[in-house]
Structure 1
Amino acid sequence: MKALGGECVYAVEIDKQAAKVYEANWGHPALGDITLDADDDLGVMNVPPHDVLCAGFPCQPFSKSGAQRGMDETRGTLFFNIASIIKAHRPSVVMLENVRNLIGPRHEHEYSVIIETLRELGYHVSDIPTVFSPHLLPPELGGAPQVRERVFITATYAPHEVRKDLELGGPLPAAAMADTFGDFDPKRDWHIEDLLDDTHNVPGCDLTESENHWISAWDEFVQIMRPLMADRPLPGFPIWADAWMDFPEMPKIRWNADRVTVPSKVTMPTVDLELPAWKQSHLRKNYDLFARHFEAIIPWAHQWKVYTDVFPASRRKLEWQAQDAKSLWDTVMHLRPSGLRAKKPNYLPALVAITQTSIIGSRERRISPRETARLQGLPDSFVFPDQPDSATYRQMGNGVNVGVVWHVFKAHVERDRDILTSGRKTDAIVQAVASSPDTPSTVLSKHVPALDTP
């Protein structure tokens, strides 16, 4: 928003480390508590008038008692405090952001209450959310190689439009996952090498000896299976090594012995028909794979100590989603509770705040904090002063991609251009967007931290 010509008048971040990073980069304090600064009963204190309100908020469940009650129903949630600010100042444009799950089946009610509340406050808003991801945008428009689908609710203050919106469902969303940009193809044109440092040695990002062992073991499995699969692709279903222990011959093998004796044949197990259908399907596929290739799989499992304490249960699973990649070390990997997942290195899954970071096979290490900042569209001049890498990973996992915000906001202003040109303040927003560059990096490349800290 600053790059579009705006001046920040209020920012709030209750996490002290994140607030320190914000102020170090922008020179504007952010530490505070919105529940104290904005309450419909107590008044909106410390929040000056403004033209644009941007907010992300947790989606706590709203009341589902009887008829919807709009803003009253949001009481006790942070959206209630945001709505209190909107009610007090009526900013020309409101831009709300949340996780994809906001429009999932468990939160349909919360989403509908948010839309109802905005209309109650006089805002022209679509029934359909804007859902967008940075990997859909080409780099020249501010995109990044990260699949990070997020929900945006964008609204323009236009009380005269609300009645029509109630009848017709409002305008089309500002952007959509189906949007295209020339001949740009994310699967073809993105590659994470575009943002990686050209080094294997990044302090704190090394793999442990155990992690190297697990990856090397499954990499050899891939190399063994390729010629055995002939012209067929590697299995796309989850490979569960523990499922192979259902073969009655397997528990009899001495897995800690120096040598292993491979049985001449194996006995196909029976699938429990009371299991969920998806699990029955995975078991049948794993049984069939093992029955056809047990003579190669058993020596592999023995060599790498797959059925010993060297391999935790969660590491005895492989989710191969890398199509024709030659090796695990040519992929991007994630050590998940569901197993070791391998994907082609064109773009990464969404950064998250609470699970392990991506492993870059070509670098034989985890993605670095600086590289995660690039995935979120932040320049290398952006600083994270005096904090551990774990805090940076958490902040980037909780953050919003700059290019997506830039694109969605510009698309919203263009969509509501006719409404926004009807007033002096709103016309200034239209002019600021019209004169802005195609990508925020044009502006962010000139960013200088307010605090000169490495």
Structure 2
Amino acid sequence: MSMKDHFTFSDLFAGVGGFHAALHSLGGRWQFASEIDAEAAAVYDYNWLRPLREAEPDDEARRRYRVSGDIVELTEPVVKVPRSDVLTAGFPCQPFSKSGFQRGMAETRGTLFWNIARILQCEEKRPAVVMLENVRNLAGPRHRETFATIVATLRELGYRTSSRPAVFSPHLLPSASGGRPQARERVFILAHFVGRDRAEHPSAFDDPVVSPAAFANTWSKHDWDLSQHLPLEPEESVEQRYFLESAERKWLDTWDRILHAVARRLHPGERMPGFPIWADDFRSVEDARALIRDAEALGRPLPAWKQGFLLKNAQFYERHADVLDPFRFELDAFPASRRKLEWQAGPHRPLEETVIQLRPSGIRCKLPSYAPALVAINQTSIVGGRRRLTPREAARLQGLPEDFQFRHTLPDGGWAEQRDAASYKQMGNGVNVGVARFVFARYVEQHADEIREHAANVVHAVSRGAASS
């Protein structure tokens, strides 16, 4: 293989290697990785660096294949990250996530973008192409200034980049292009070096490299079938620890019976309630209105959305009180969040035919076409009404190869299986391989002429890798 058939990449905030898998499949060769989480770094090492070490003939060469740690120590006061053709970074999302405080760059972790910028400003370390990834909220209204700052900084450092990010989810990408049945919108910021004058010229302010609208006429998110396209493991091969506990089964069984009883009373063409059902607010409409008035009189008015849900639940209760009341005793024994249910699965069907999440906001039921986004906290989707997705199935949702393992390399050269909690967390924090691969390849293709000026090998390798897939 000639040198132009591959390119080098550095993998910052590497997690367990989603970017590594994507770029390796396009002809990328690992140059450097950093990850501060020790368990994620150990999984990265086992899957990606251990094979490289084993292929080296001598001990000195093997020692370079390791995952480095804190990016701050690697960039301050001097940059210790080696030069590579491509730099990827799924920099921490918590400062921008809706599940956090959304402080953006006002929070310490938000400033880690500046550590990426320190690498880009070093002429001798400067990569030709940069690919950053973060949560959808980074491009939302609360972080408009933050996103603009990132774009302006990249241009000041000589990188051409769009004023708008590529926002993409694996469930909006056809299976043949690397899509997976998971709703997971993420922001991708891509840039390539052209020099400051060209980067800041208005003609360089192009649109995002790709958007889901490109597939509107050929692909629909409703074409997914989770059991078929993931695929799910046969139930008999799934270990017992992934099946629901008795209390969890009780919650779902009770709600299944409630929904069945309500569905039998619906008029032809009438749908199940689309609003959250709150068992604690099963009361008359008159009582609901009194509650709203009392809150107003006390100077603590309820927000409009809550008033609406209270009245909808009251109307729902009044209509179905005779079938709901027999379940009150069972529901009262549940934890508060399990007395709430969000039905997002269209016409009524048994809960075992939906994808379920046990969320802090309640039990959510969705169509079994595609899964909700994997998250780093304990909301792993339940399938078949009986069990959670396994770590292997979560890895498939993220597009990782079948031979990917949740294992740690041991000092003696052996390995150990990782605890499930860490595996789920890593999948929730990870980048989707198929989306990263697709967006990167499309970006290089569309900007091939300019990228070729500084890294012709990237263009050649990506073109070769994309054509062979």
Task: Report if TM-score (shorter chain) is over 0.5.
Answer: yes
**Superposed, which structure 2 residues align to 1:89-104 within 5 Å?**
89-104=125-140
Shift of 1:438: 6.0
Q: Which residue does the alignment assign to 1:301?
A: 328
Cα distance, 1:169–1:301 mapped onto 2, change above 3 Å: farther
Maintained 8 Å contact 1:122/1:162: yes
Q: Which residue of 1 aligns with 2:457?
A: 428
Whether the 8 Å CA contact 1:318–1:339 is kept in 2: the answer is: yes
- Amino acid across the alignment from 2:403: S
Displacement after TM superposition at 1:109 (Å) = 1.9
- Does the residue aligned with 2:208 lie in a helix, a strand or coil? coil
One-letter amino acid of the structure 1 residue matched with residue 251 of structure 2: W
Q: Distance in 1 between matches of 2:108 and 2:462?
A: 32
Q: How does 1:345-364 map to 2 (within 5 A)?
A: 345-361=368-384, 364=386
User: 1:313 deviation in Å?
Assistant: 1.3
2:34 touches 2:67 (CA, 8 Å); kept in 1? Answer: yes
Summarize the alignment of residues 9-408 of structure 1 with structure 2, pairs less than 5 Å apart: 9-27=31-49, 28-39=65-76, 42-45=77-80, 47-58=81-92, 77-88=111-122, 89-159=125-195, 160-164=197-201, 167=202, 170-180=205-215, 183-194=218-229, 195-200=231-236, 201-231=238-268, 232-244=270-282, 246-247=283-284, 269-271=288-290, 272-273=292-293, 274-302=301-329, 305-307=330-332, 310-361=333-384, 364-385=386-407, 386-408=417-439
C-alpha contact 2:89 2:132 (8 A) present in aligned 1: yes
24, 28, 31: which one aligns with 1:6: 28
Alignment gaps of 5+ in structure 1 = 63-70, 248-265, 443-454
Kept after mapping to 1: 8 A contact 2:242/2:387: yes
Seen in structure 2, the aligned counterparts of structure 1 residues 230 and 270 have a Cα distance that, compared at 3 Å, is same
> Per the alignment, in what secondary structure is the counterpart of residue 14 of structure 1?
coil
Distance 2:364 2:258 in 1: 14
In the alignment, is the contact (CA less than 8 A) between 1:325 and 1:331 conserved in 2? no
Is the partner of 2:465 in helix, strand or coil? Answer: coil
Q: Is the 8 A contact 1:137 1:144 kept in 2?
A: yes
Letter in 2 for 1:431: H
User: What secondary structure is seen at the aligned counterpart in 1 of 2:146?
Assistant: helix
Q: CA deviation at 1:239?
A: 0.7
Match of 1:415 among 442, 446, 462: 446
Secondary structure of 1:210's counterpart equals helix
Q: Summarize the Cα distance change of 1:149–1:345 in structure 2 as closer, same or farther, 3 Å threshold.
A: same
Does the 8 A contact of 1:384 with 1:392 survive in 2?
Answer: yes
Task: Report the Cα distance in structure 2 between the residues aligned to 1:24 and 1:279, rounded to whole angstroms.
Answer: 49
**In percent, how many aligned pairs have the same letter?**
47
* Aligned AA (1:242): D
Task: Give aligned pairs, total.
Answer: 400
Partners in 2 of 1:294 and 1:110 — Cα distance?
A: 50
Q: Over alpha carbons, which structure has the higher Rg? A: 1
How far is the alpha carbon of 1:181 from its aligned partner? 6.5
Pair 1:31–1:162, CA change in 2 (3 A): closer
CA distance in 1, matches of 2:94, 2:424: 24
The 1:58–1:127 alpha-carbon spacing in structure 2 relative to 1, beyond 3 Å, is same
Task: Give the conservation status (yes or no) of the 8 Å contact 1:144–1:375.
Answer: yes
TM-score (norm 1): 0.83
* C-alpha contact (below 8 Å) 1:377/1:402 kept by paired residues: yes
Q: Structure 1 residues 150, 106: CA separation in 2 closer, same or farther (over 3 Å shift)?
A: same
Give the AA of the match of 2:449. Answer: D
Distance in 1 (CA, whole Å) between partners of 2:42 and 2:432 is 19
Runs of 4+ in 1 over 3 A off after TM superposition: 59-62, 73-76, 266-269
Judge conservation of contact 1:61–1:110 (CA < 8 Å) in 2: no
TM-score by length of 2: 0.81
How far is 1:58 from its partner?
2.0
Query: Relative to total residues, which structure has the larger helix share, 1 or 2?
Result: 2
Inter-partner Cα distance in structure 1 for 2:224 and 2:370 = 10
Question: Could you tell me whether the CA contact under 8 Å between 1:53 and 1:95 is conserved in 2?
Answer: yes
Quote how far apart the aligned CAs of 1:60 are. Answer: 7.6
- Whether the 8 Å contact between 1:141 and 1:438 is mirrored in structure 2 is no
Asked if the contact 2:168–2:212 (Cα under 8 Å) also holds between the matched residues in 1, the reply is yes
Q: Is the 8 A contact 1:127 1:169 kept in 2?
A: no
State whether residues 272 and 348 of structure 2, in contact with CA within 8 Å, keep that contact through their aligned partners in structure 1: no
Query: Deviation digits for residues 99-158 of structure 1, max 9, x if unmatched?
Result: 111112322222111111101100111110111011111221111000110111000101
Q: 1:228/1:181 Cα in 2 relative to 1: closer, same or farther (>3 Å)?
A: closer
